[in-house]
Amino acid sequence: MNERNNGRRAVRIDATGLYYRDLNQLVREAISGGARRIELEGVMGQRYIGTNVYECPDLGDVEIHIHGVPGNDLGAFLNGPRIVVYGSAQDGCGNTMNAGEIVVHGRAGDIAGFSARGGRILVRESAGYRVGIHMKEYGPHKPVLVIGGSTQDFLGEYMAGGVIIVLGLGIDGPHRAALVGTGMHGGAIYIRGEFDRDRVGKEVGIVDPDAADMAEVEEHVRAYTDNFGGSAEEIIAGPFSKLYPKHLRPYGRLYAY
């Protein structure tokens, strides 16, 4: 079971048929016991992987590699570890995540990155509805969500901070997501490729990214290609549009005082 991997203690766990609670307990015990790299085999729908490791030491060094399809709320409240999924992630991936990284070699479901305050999520393919909803940033915490393909409607709804980058790789035609950034009042969404500008949220402004914006995009695009391959240069060549909130206080004038 235990082996040394690049000087890091690795543990392999066969998740086949394990109930999520038992699986997550095994992961917790392994990390408390000093394991720094956890390989989970045969994962199929188990929820909350990476959630219950609070108080384990040095979480920033921990890597959890998941083979299969993890269940909903993957990495919910994640606070440091790096999770790599060799498959797709279901709904709620990175829910209220605080720090760490989730790398998905497949697609992600609805509300990926919901309310995330920090960390980074890289999704090789596309993602579902309401992705990046209510992401927020604070001080040094700035969540980043990179989607290789496209997303469905309500991308970045209520977005209050952080960065969402949608690369449009391998999609047929323009992005179809409607109501992008509806209620947005912070952060930025970068979309590569064509999309219907009339269907974005009314709170959203659209500009061409400037050099500083592109430097930020490039950093995360390189992380994307480092993980999934492809040419960062080709991707960065764009064209990118930047969606930004027109107001920090979209509802400031809603009320009669």
Among 7, 172, 210, 229, binds other proteins (CB under 8 A): 172
Cβ at position 7, least distance to other proteins in Å: 28
DSSP β-bridge partners for residue 134: none
Residue 87 in contact with other proteins, rule: CB under 8 A: yes
Residue 212 in contact with other proteins, rule: CB under 8 A: no
Residue 100 in contact with other proteins, rule: CB under 8 A: no
162: left (phi over 0), alpha (psi -120 to 50) or beta: left
Cβ at position 225, least distance to other proteins in Å: 18
Q: Interface mask (CB under 8 A) for other proteins, residues 31-50, using x and -?
A: -------------xx-xx--
Find the part of the chain contacting other proteins (CB under 8 A) among 1-9, 105-113, 215-223, 236-244: 105-113
Look at the alpha carbons of 110, 27, 68, 171 in this order and tell me if their dihedral is positive or negative. Answer: positive
Cβ at position 250, least distance to other proteins in Å: 7
Among 3, 138, 197, 208, binds other proteins (CB under 8 A): 138
Instruction: Say if residues 99 and 141 touch (Cβ distance below 8 Å).
Output: yes
**Block residue for tokens 């790299």:** 37
**Block residue for tokens 């994962």:** 43
Among 91, 104, 163, 181, binds other proteins (CB under 8 A): 91
* Of 212, 219, 210, 201, the residue nearest 240 (C-alpha): 210
Among 31, 95, 119, 188, binds other proteins (CB under 8 A): 95
Nearest to other proteins of 10, 137 (CB atom): 137
- CB-side neighbour CA atoms (13 Å) of 117: 11
Residue 244 in contact with other proteins, rule: CB under 8 A: no
Sheet containing 63-69: order of strands: 2-5, 8-14, 37-44, 63-69, 79-86, 99-104, 120-123, 144-147, 160-166, 186-192, 240-245, 204-207
Among 111, 166, 200, 243, binds other proteins (CB under 8 A): 111
